[in-house]
Amino acid sequence: MADGVDQSERDGAVGSQPPSSASIPLGGFPPPPSNPQYFLPALTPSTSSDQQGVRFGPLPDSPHQTAASSGAARSGAPGGSGVTTGWRMLVVGAAIGALVATIVGGGIAAVLWNSKSSDQSSATTSTAGRTVSPSGSALDIRTLLEKVRPSVVTIRTDPGLAAGTGSGIVVDEQGTVLTNAHVINAATEIEIEFSNGDLRPAVLVGSFPERDVALVRPKEPRESVPAELGDSSTLQVGDDVVAIGNALNLGGDPSVTKGIVSALNRELDAEGEHLDQLIQTDAAINLGNSGGPLLNAEGRVVGVNTAIIANSQSLGFALAIDSLKPLMQKILNGEAPVDGDGAFLGVVTTDVGDQPADVLDQFKVDVEHGAFVARVQAGSGADRGSIIPGDILTSIGDEAVETKEDVGRILAKHKPDDRVTIAFERDGEEQSVEIVLGRRGG
Model confidence band, residue 438 (pLDDT cutoffs 50, 70, 90): confident
Q: Percent of the chain beyond pLDDT 70?
A: 61
| Per-residue model confidence as pLDDT tens digits over 125-175 | 333 333 333 444 557 888 888 899 999 999 988 765 445 688 999 999 999
- Same-domain status, 252 and 293: yes
> What pLDDT sits at residue 398?
92
Q: Please name which of 387, 87, 64, 388 lies closest in space to residue 73, comparing C-alpha atoms.
A: 87
| Per-residue model confidence as pLDDT tens digits over 252-307 | 677 888 999 999 998 875 434 567 889 999 988 877 788 999 999 999 999 999 88
Q: What is the DSSP letter of 386?
A: T
Q: Average the pLDDT over each of 87-91, 291-295, 428-432 and give the range with the smallest value.
A: 87-91
The residue among 188, 218, 248 that closes a domain is 218
> What pLDDT sits at residue 404?
80
| Contact of 271 with 109, CB cutoff 8 Å | no
Residues contacting 311, CB < 8 A, separation 6+? 21, 22, 23, 24, 70, 71, 72
Residue 258 lies in a domain: yes
* Residues forming the active site: 182, 212, 290
| Contact of 167 with 289, CB cutoff 8 Å | yes
- Residue 99: strand, helix, or coil: helix
> What pLDDT sits at residue 164?
67
Residue 113 lies in a domain: no
Percentages helix, strand, coil for the chain, rounded to the nearest 5?
Answer: 15, 35, 50
> What pLDDT sits at residue 181?
86
Q: Which residues form the domain of 197? A: 142-218
What is the domain count for the chain?
A: 3
Q: How far apart are CA 206 and CA 198, in angstroms?
A: 23
Model confidence band, residue 27 (pLDDT cutoffs 50, 70, 90): very low
Mean pLDDT of the chain: 69
CATH of the domain at 429: 2.30.42.10
- Same-domain status, 354 and 434: yes
Q: How far apart are CA 171 and CA 189, in angstroms?
A: 21
